[in-house]
A and B are shown apart, each in its own frame.
Chain A
Amino acid sequence: MVTVQESEYWRWPESIWVDESKNWQDAEVISCGIDLGSVSTQAVVMLDGELYAYANMRTGTSSAASAEKAVNAMLEKIGDMKRDDIHYIVGTGYGRVSIPFAQKTITEIACHGRGAVYVYGDKVRTVLDMGGQDLKAIKVDSRGKVINFLMNDKCAAGTGRGIEVVCDLLSIPITEAGQLSLQVDEEPEPVSTTCVVFAKSEILGLIRKGWGKERILAAFFNAVASRVVELLERVGVEPEFAITGGISKNIGVVKRIEDKLGLKALEPKYDPQLAGAIGAALFGRALYIKSKK
């Protein structure tokens, strides 16, 4: 019998990080935010409103276990901090209601708004959150308070899940797809934007026609960008716009969105995939301070 080792091209690397320059025991308020999304889970710890540690993991079949896994991985990396040392934990994201140890849940739209201001600075006014199964165009004020928002319709086309499907189909590691898609001389027409299944079957057709992977990715990301720009324009784009969520790391999508809008997205100070969890932790800090007054 022949054993075939199959690669999981869609699988993006998990990561854990701690700011070794800080001592958490010096902090007055330790808050934690957990963004339990459909595809990934981020947990962050903030010390007096400053990012100290995070874990970015894949979401499993159990929301509670996924949250537990991310928080435990982060605490293990920190070393001597226990969950009880954290003053306030806020859950957000699709699975937020299933985080048993969260003291409060807040919607991811509110958290991404708040977190975007932290990640990008207080100039940001339009936030595009590109997550695993949702696209959200959010307008915020200088404090990150949500003024207005719109979500995509119920379809994975243009979301992280859609990109995973296409990377798997083309056998391209998801972390390389964005850069690869830019290696085309001429931008091809976009593929179908209405449904990820349609897009997949259209891509199969393009493979049969002999298209190279770069060109197919370009056509797909062109479609993703078109769909996103429609949503952004509906909510109204202001020049200070920022992208959060996992797809913000895909240069092929980001560049195309910028080209279509004729605008450059703001440069993040921190990993933009953490914005939701950071926003949750900031809300947690404020709630803790309020509770002590």
Chain B
Amino acid sequence: MEVKVRPFDCWDDFKNYRIEYYKNYLEAKDKGGIRWAGSAWSFDPVPAGLGEDVYPLTGEPYGATAAFFREFSVRALETIERKGAARDLCGYMRNYWGSVAMDKYLLADGTEIEPFPKPDFNFTIHICCTHAKWYHYAAELEGGVPTYAVDISVGPGYQLDDKKIEYVVRQLEDAVTWMEKVTGREYDDELLIKAVENEAKSMTLWSKICKLNQAVPAPMEEKSMFSFYVMTLLRRSDEKVVKLYEKLYDEVESRVKRGIGALTHEQFRFVTDNPPPWPFLKVYRYLEQTYGAVSVGSIYTFGLGASWIGMDEKGENWIWEPAPTPEEAGYEIHDRRSALWWTAMFNLKYRASWQHEYSHWIRKQETLQMVKDWKADAIIMHLNRGCELWNMSTLEVRDYLVKNNVPVATYEGNMADPREFDEARTFNVIDSFMQSLGIEKLA
């Protein structure tokens, strides 16, 4: 059956925000503003308390953008490898380091700017073997930039208790004092409170948008979602991001009501897991155009920046329901401590991608439940050489899904290293998989 399709009305709004984001970071000093850099998982509302002219550069989306521009990426990767970085380190991180080492900064449209704009400080988190080291070494490459990393490795959300939250809150309180010291600015708690509220709204709105994709036909395909979800990783505490998601929610809801789909012929629904191979997003186009196969989501695009209830209290089942905002939870944020407490609790408990790093079991439940809830026919898993954290339980999850009668295909690649992808081989796997499931190519 043919489905109505149409471009997203808010597409350009998202695109323009992203263009402005990288430009704002670049030009921050011209306006007397502050630049900071860190993981996309950093507690982004915290630096917001330094003023309204504070601009972040989050490393993972920057690494993905660099990888998308293959020629730039290969230069960056080779530059940092010549300095001694091993090829099996995080792909995003190597692109970022290479960019700093080349002293070239990449805008969202692929324009290269010299020199690389040095941040005033690095503010990051530490959960895997990469994150804190990423910015320690970046600081060295940048000739010495003050760097602060928050340790968040307290265990999964369903086992969270006040002591664990307190452990993170105290680090954030220290971070505020540290930021005042390194920037010479007075911290504004009102700005922090607003940013914490915005963060929760952005993340929960994105969860609600993801839920809408359970509809058949799916209103969004994952390649478009890559352009939407990233706002939760660029600057989720920004009110403009909240507005963007409100607009997107209304549009996606309307598409569902009117039966507008992502593909004209949706004959197969699948989900994915790892970060995609950014330099080769044509994998998704191939599936769409050749087989009418739509990727309706992934634990990556849904889990990275959205907030979900996650594991139930017993740690047995995963629940794909949006987490509550402070307002919905009846929690009043009235000062610095209550704001820091909420952002710590909210991220530790509800950020899906932090939960499954602690246990294969969590990731198995999370993935299987996604297949069920989003009515997927199968999962296509990326054996991603570019991220140890994301890839560490991929094959265990694969085996579990097979045991639960979910068809699974795996292909090998690297999210951010164009040199580690075999296009012909990947398409061969896809063709074999589709044939084995009896899915015919579209006429």
A80 located at the interface, meaning its Cβ lies under 8 Å from any Cβ of chain B in the complex: no
CB-CB under 8 A from A94, the residues of chain B are 424, 428
B321 located at the interface, meaning its Cβ lies under 8 Å from any Cβ of chain A in the complex: no
B412 located at the interface, meaning its Cβ lies under 8 Å from any Cβ of chain A in the complex: yes
A146 near B402: Cβ-Cβ < 8 Å: no
A107 near B428: Cβ-Cβ < 8 Å: yes
Q: How does the 8 Å CB contact mask read for A225-243 relative to B, with 1 for contact and 0 for none?
A: 0000000001010000000
Considering only CB atoms, which chain B residue lies closest to A152 in the complex? B412
Of B167-175, B194-202, B430-438, the one with at least 4 CB within 8 A of chain A: B430-438
Sorting the interface of chain B by its residue count into under 10, 10 to 19, 20 to 34 or 35 or more gives 10 to 19
Query: Do most interface residues of chain B lie in helix, strand or loop, or is the interface mixed?
Result: helix
B402 near A148: Cβ-Cβ < 8 Å: yes
B422 near A110: Cβ-Cβ < 8 Å: no
A146 near B429: Cβ-Cβ < 8 Å: no
Which of B407, B410, B432 is the most central at the interface, judged by chain A CB atoms within 10 Å of its CB? B432
In the complex, what distance in Å separates the CA atom of A150 from the CA atom of B432? 10
CB-CB under 8 A from B424, the residues of chain A are 94
CB-CB under 8 A from B429, the residues of chain A are 151
In the complex, what distance in Å separates the CA atom of A153 from the CA atom of B425? 10
B395 near A234: Cβ-Cβ < 8 Å: yes
A209 located at the interface, meaning its Cβ lies under 8 Å from any Cβ of chain B in the complex: no
CB-CB under 8 A from A148, the residues of chain B are 402, 407-408, 436
B161 located at the interface, meaning its Cβ lies under 8 Å from any Cβ of chain A in the complex: no
CB-CB under 8 A from A149, the residues of chain B are 432-433, 436
In the complex, what distance in Å separates the CA atom of A146 from the CA atom of B428? 15
B383 located at the interface, meaning its Cβ lies under 8 Å from any Cβ of chain A in the complex: yes
A147 located at the interface, meaning its Cβ lies under 8 Å from any Cβ of chain B in the complex: yes
Q: Which of A110, A145, A234 contacts B399 (CB 8 A)?
A: A234
A109 located at the interface, meaning its Cβ lies under 8 Å from any Cβ of chain B in the complex: yes
B412 near A110: Cβ-Cβ < 8 Å: no
In the complex, what distance in Å separates the CA atom of A150 from the CA atom of B435? 14
A153 near B428: Cβ-Cβ < 8 Å: no
A147 near B436: Cβ-Cβ < 8 Å: yes
B395 near A107: Cβ-Cβ < 8 Å: no
Within 8 A of B (CB), among A136-185: 145-151, 153-154
Q: Which of A110, A151, A153, A154 contacts B436 (CB 8 A)?
A: A110
- Shortest CB-to-CB span from B441 to chain A, Å, is 11
CB-CB under 8 A from A286, the residues of chain B are none
Q: If the complex has contacts A94-B424, A148-B436, A153-B412, are A107 and B399 also in contact, measured as CB distance less than 8 A?
A: no
- Shortest CB-to-CB span from B26 to chain A, Å, is 37
Q: Which of A109, A150, A154, A234 contacts B425 (CB 8 A)?
A: A154
- Shortest CB-to-CB span from A224 to chain B, Å, is 19
In the complex, what distance in Å separates the CA atom of A82 from the CA atom of B244? 66
In the complex, what distance in Å separates the CA atom of A154 from the CA atom of B432? 17
CB-CB under 8 A from A106, the residues of chain B are 435
In the complex, what distance in Å separates the CA atom of A153 from the CA atom of B422? 11
A153 near B383: Cβ-Cβ < 8 Å: yes
In the complex, what distance in Å separates the CA atom of A148 from the CA atom of B401? 12
In the complex, what distance in Å separates the CA atom of A150 from the CA atom of B401? 14
- Shortest CB-to-CB span from A76 to chain B, Å, is 31
CB-CB under 8 A from A109, the residues of chain B are 432, 435-436
A146 near B383: Cβ-Cβ < 8 Å: no
Q: Which of B402, B407, B435 contacts A107 (CB 8 A)?
A: B435
Within 8 A of B (CB), among A76-98: 94
In the complex, what distance in Å separates the CA atom of A148 from the CA atom of B436? 7
Considering only CB atoms, which chain A residue lies closest to B407 in the complex? A148
- Shortest CB-to-CB span from B439 to chain A, Å, is 12
Within 8 A of A (CB), among B391-433: 395, 399, 402, 407-408, 410, 412, 420, 422, 424-425, 428-429, 431-433
CB-CB under 8 A from B412, the residues of chain A are 153-154
Considering only CB atoms, which chain B residue lies closest to A134 in the complex? B425
Q: How does the 8 Å CB contact mask read for A89-127 relative to B, with 1 for contact and 0 for none?
A: 000001000000000001111100000000000000000
CB-CB under 8 A from A110, the residues of chain B are 432, 435-436
CB-CB under 8 A from A150, the residues of chain B are 410
Q: If the complex has contacts A146-B436, A150-B410, A153-B412, are A107 and B425 also in contact, measured as CB distance less than 8 A?
A: no
CB-CB under 8 A from B402, the residues of chain A are 148, 236
Within 8 A of B (CB), among A223-273: 234, 236
CB-CB under 8 A from A153, the residues of chain B are 383, 412
CB-CB under 8 A from B408, the residues of chain A are 148
A146 near B422: Cβ-Cβ < 8 Å: no
In the complex, what distance in Å separates the CA atom of A131 from the CA atom of B429? 15
B422 near A154: Cβ-Cβ < 8 Å: yes
CB-CB under 8 A from B428, the residues of chain A are 94, 107-108
CB-CB under 8 A from B410, the residues of chain A are 150-151
Q: How does the 8 Å CB contact mask read for A171-212 relative to B, with 1 for contact and 0 for none?
A: 000000000000000000000000000000000000000000
CB-CB under 8 A from B395, the residues of chain A are 234
- Shortest CB-to-CB span from B218 to chain A, Å, is 26
In the complex, what distance in Å separates the CA atom of A148 from the CA atom of B410? 11
- Shortest CB-to-CB span from B283 to chain A, Å, is 15
Q: If the complex has contacts A148-B402, A148-B436, A234-B399, are A107 and B383 also in contact, measured as CB distance less than 8 A?
A: no
CB-CB under 8 A from B399, the residues of chain A are 234
- Shortest CB-to-CB span from B279 to chain A, Å, is 16
- Shortest CB-to-CB span from B411 to chain A, Å, is 9
- Shortest CB-to-CB span from A253 to chain B, Å, is 22
The 3 closest A-B pairs by CB, nearest first: A146-B436, A109-B432, A107-B432
Q: List 16 extra interface pairs beyond A151-B425, A154-B425, CB under 8 A.
A: A106-B435, A107-B428, A107-B432, A109-B436, A110-B435, A145-B436, A146-B432, A146-B436, A148-B407, A149-B436, A150-B410, A151-B410, A154-B422, A234-B395, A234-B399, A236-B402
Query: What are 14 A-B pairs at a CB distance below 8 A?
Result: A107-B431, A108-B428, A110-B436, A148-B402, A148-B436, A149-B436, A150-B410, A151-B410, A151-B425, A151-B429, A153-B383, A154-B412, A234-B399, A236-B402
